[in-house]
Amino acid sequence: MKTLQMIFCILACLCVAAVVPIAIFFGYYCLILVGAAFVFWLAMLAAKRAATPKLPKPSFMNSDEENARINAYLEEHKDDE
């Protein structure tokens, strides 16, 4: 997933870099590249969100047993990051 994030980031940067030359020569057609950059940025964020695991967190709303179980899980998996 990191590779996919990097690819989308590079594509978004290339679209942004191409906006000025396209705007100079073709006018409002540069808005297509602005839209493409926005779409690639959203795809990068989606790939990042899909790659990030959602770990449980202890809360005061949970029972003591549930918090103990969550803390044990987090302690067991702390090296996975």
What one-letter code names the amino acid at 26? F
**Is pLDDT of 14 > 90?**
yes
| pLDDT confidence bin for 28, thresholds 50/70/90 | very high
CA distances from 1 to 4, 49, 54 (A): 5, 10, 15
**Is pLDDT of 62 > 70?**
yes
Q: How far does Cα 50 stand from its chain's mean position?
A: 8
Determine contact, residues 73/56, Cβ cutoff 8 Å. Answer: yes
Q: What percent of the chain has pLDDT over 90?
A: 52
- pLDDT value at residue 13: 95
